[in-house]
Amino acid sequence: MLRLLGPVEIRAESGWLAAGSPRQRLVLAALAVDAGRTVSVDALVDRVWGPEPPPNVRRTVHSYIARARRALERMPAGAGGPVRVVNAGGGYRLDIDPERVDLHRFRRLVGQARAMVAAAPRGAALREAVGLWRGDPLIGLDGSWVERVRRSWRHEWVSAVVAWAETELAVGDPGDARGVVTDLVAEFPLDESLAGVLMKLLAAGGRKAEALEHYTAIRDRLADELGIDPGPELRAVHRALLRGELDPRPRPAPPPPAQLPSDLATFTGHRPADLAALLTSAEPGPAGRRWPRVATSSTP
C-alpha cells in the first residue's frame, strides 16, 4: 500500500515507512495520483517545483526518480507484480495496482457506495472509505500543486463523510459518525452540508436544543462572513427539526416468536394416578367430607 491521505508512506515488510525527504515524497505523490498513467516530465516538474524550477531540473528529476525506485523496492509485490517507476513516452509511469494507493481505493469505495441501493452495504463501503483518511492529505508537503489537490481531496472527504452519516442515520446507528462530523464541522464551519447532517445526528441522539443552537450559529456566521442566508437544504433540515420530524424514534419491539411452545414433560392435571392416591388418603370429616393431608413428592 502507498498512502497519500495523511503522511506519504509506503508499506514495507517491516511496516510503514516515510518515503524519503519531503521533495522525494512529493515526487512519489505526483506519480501516485496518476497511478498506471504516464506523467510527463513537464507535468512532474510543475507539480513538484511549481512555475520557477531550479536550473537543470530535468537532471534533478532523474535523480529523484532513481531514489523513488529504490524506495519502492521495499514494497512487497502485489497481484500485478512489483511496484516500479518506468520510463514511458517522455515521462514516467508508476506501475501499481490502484487498489494499493489509498486515494484510489477511497474513490473506488465511494463510487461503489453510490451505486448501492441497500443502506447496510452502502454504509459499510463508506465507513471503509472514511477510515482510509489519517488527517490532512500529503502532510508535511507544500507548494501550489499540493494546495490545489489537498483542497480538492478535502471536498471529496467531506462529501463522503456526509453520505456515510446520512446512511448511518437511515439504518439507525449514527453513533460513530457523530464524532467524525463534529470534528469536520470545526474545520469547515461554513459548510452547510456538514451543518445539516450534524443537526440530524444531534436530533437523533435526543439533543434537539443543541441542533437548534447549531443552526443559529451557522446562520449568523454565514451572514457575518459571507453576507448570505442558509440555503434551501439547510433551511429544510431546520423546519423538520422544529416540526419534530427528526426526533429520535423508539425502536420497534421485536416480533413475537412464530412457533408454539414445545410440549412440557409434566403439567397440572396430567397425573391421574397420583391425584387418585391423594383423594384416597384424605381423612373423613364431618358430614362425610374428607380433610386432605399435606402431601409431598420427591419425584419431578
- Tens-binned pLDDT, residue by residue, of the chain (300 aa): 899 999 999 987 777 878 888 999 999 999 999 999 999 999 999 999 998 898 999 999 999 999 999 888 888 887 667 889 999 888 999 999 999 999 999 999 999 999 998 999 999 999 999 999 998 999 999 999 999 999 999 999 999 999 999 999 998 878 789 999 999 999 999 999 999 999 999 999 999 999 999 999 999 999 999 999 999 999 999 999 999 998 886 655 566 665 555 555 555 555 666 656 655 665 555 555 555 555 655 555
Q: Answer yes or no: are the C-beta atoms of 135 and 125 closer than 8 Å.
A: no
Q: What is the pLDDT of residues 231-243, one digit of tens each?
A: 999 999 999 999 9
Instruction: Count the Cβ atoms, other than its own, within 10 Å of residue 50.
Output: 13
pLDDT at residue 218, rounded to an integer = 96
**Buried-state track 124-136, b at ≥16 Cβ within 10 A, e below 16:** bbbbbbbebbeeb
Q: Position of cell 499540493? A: 146
pLDDT at residue 75, rounded to an integer = 84
pLDDT at residue 297, rounded to an integer = 57
pLDDT at residue 100, rounded to an integer = 93
Class of residue 287 by CB neighbours under 10 A (exposed 0-12, middle 13-18, buried 19+): exposed
Q: Answer yes or no: are the C-beta atoms of 104 and 57 closer than 8 Å.
A: no
For 151, the grid coordinates are 483542497
Q: What is the pLDDT of residues 111-128, one digit of tens each?
A: 999 999 899 999 999 999
For 72, the grid coordinates are 519502492
For 242, the grid coordinates are 422544529
Class of residue 97 by CB neighbours under 10 A (exposed 0-12, middle 13-18, buried 19+): middle
Q: Please give the distance of CA 249 from its chain centroid, rounded to a whole number.
A: 23
pLDDT at residue 171, rounded to an integer = 87
Class of residue 36 by CB neighbours under 10 A (exposed 0-12, middle 13-18, buried 19+): middle
Class of residue 22 by CB neighbours under 10 A (exposed 0-12, middle 13-18, buried 19+): middle
pLDDT at residue 19, rounded to an integer = 80
pLDDT at residue 158, rounded to an integer = 96
* Distance between first and last Cα of the chain: 66
* Rounded CA separation 151/145 (Å): 10
* Rounded CA separation 217/210 (Å): 10
